[in-house]
Amino acid sequence: MEIVAYGVLADEEPLLREAFDKAFDGRHELRCLRMFLDPDTVPTAVGHEVLVSSVNDTLDAQVLRSLAEGGTRMIAQRSTGYNNIDLAAARELGLTVARVSSYSPYSVAEFAWTLALAANRRIVRAAHRTREFDFRLDGLMGRDLHGRTAGVVGTGKIGAAFARIAHGFGMRLLGWDVAEDPDCLALGMEYVPREQLFAEADLISLHVPLLPDTHHLVGTKALALMKDDAILVNSSRGGLVDTDALLETLRAGRLAGVGLDVYEEEAGVFFLDKSLEVMADERLARLMTFSNVLVTSHQAYFTKDAVGQIIGTTVANIGDYFAGRAGDNTLVRPGTA
């Protein structure tokens, strides 16, 4: 059987092929496509019982219906997030859907700190200068983080890993989540109301999933509470931050730095080369004009360790499907409510 994978990155493909060969020993062939799955590309999936999707694929009711009509029975999403999949439609169509429930939390936590430190110490600006042999320090002054306050919004595995690094820097820890994490409490973290965290933290890092209750979690009210010289980092989901409100805050000259690895309208932009095109997204273009804003293209997870774990779990999910099993990673299984 041929299995088709969409949105496969160049660095990802060798790992994906190696895992498939090891798991299936030639019983199933893998077809890797760079394109994303959407209403225009869905005909390429016809005849494939199993497909491997990415979080940037469009798997709405229309696409899922076309997939089902074309013979697809199983979708293995190689990501933790699945807000791009209409699960209700998948259930109605009798499709099996699985995801990767977890992978290395250190990849994202370490990258969030990379953004925080780069924003604080103006690393990108400094690197651009020195490439042109400009070695002045004007405009590059940052702050010690030791002794300052880190606000961790969401203290699951990634947030807890971020907190441990903050503790290593000697920072005071504030946390906000629906449940307190014992390991974070052992570090001395104080769980406080969200408003207090935004008001007191010098560095705020977001590590919560995108849900109706967390959409635009960082909006006008939250940003107004933040210190003028605070640093905001988002390596979780773009929709957590209200971009319009953030732009207004930046235009007012507030916030010492912003590090964004995700953006609420990143679909159709991130993972693609747009360098020869006019950037039609005016809000993203405006964000990039601020010297204290650092934007990366959803790469926090992108380490060999994390990608290897994601691929391993994806292959295992496909193996479970062929064996008629459902596990913790199964989001939809035919015949279940």
Instruction: Provide the annotated active-site residues.
Output: 237, 266
Look up residue 65 and give its amino acid: R
CA distances (Å), origin 219, targets 74, 119, 152, 206: 38, 20, 17, 13
- As a residue count, the chain comes to 337
Please tell me whether residue 97 adopts helix, strand or coil conformation: strand
Alpha carbons 203 and 111: distance in angstroms, whole number: 15
Alpha carbons 235 and 300: distance in angstroms, whole number: 7
231 contacts 260 by C-beta, under 8 angstroms: no
Mention every residue, 6+ apart, whose C-beta is less than 8 A from residue 275: none
Alpha carbons 148 and 173: distance in angstroms, whole number: 9
User: CB atoms < 10 A from the CB of 105, how many?
Assistant: 18
Alpha carbons 201 and 180: distance in angstroms, whole number: 18
Alpha carbons 112 and 296: distance in angstroms, whole number: 11
Alpha carbons 333 and 337: distance in angstroms, whole number: 9
Q: Give the residue among 230, 228, 229, 204 at the shortest CA–CA distance from 217.
A: 204
198 contacts 228 by C-beta, under 8 angstroms: no
Alpha carbons 193 and 39: distance in angstroms, whole number: 43
Strand partners, 231: 203, 257
Look up residue 55 and give its amino acid: V
200 contacts 184 by C-beta, under 8 angstroms: no
DSSP state of 231: E
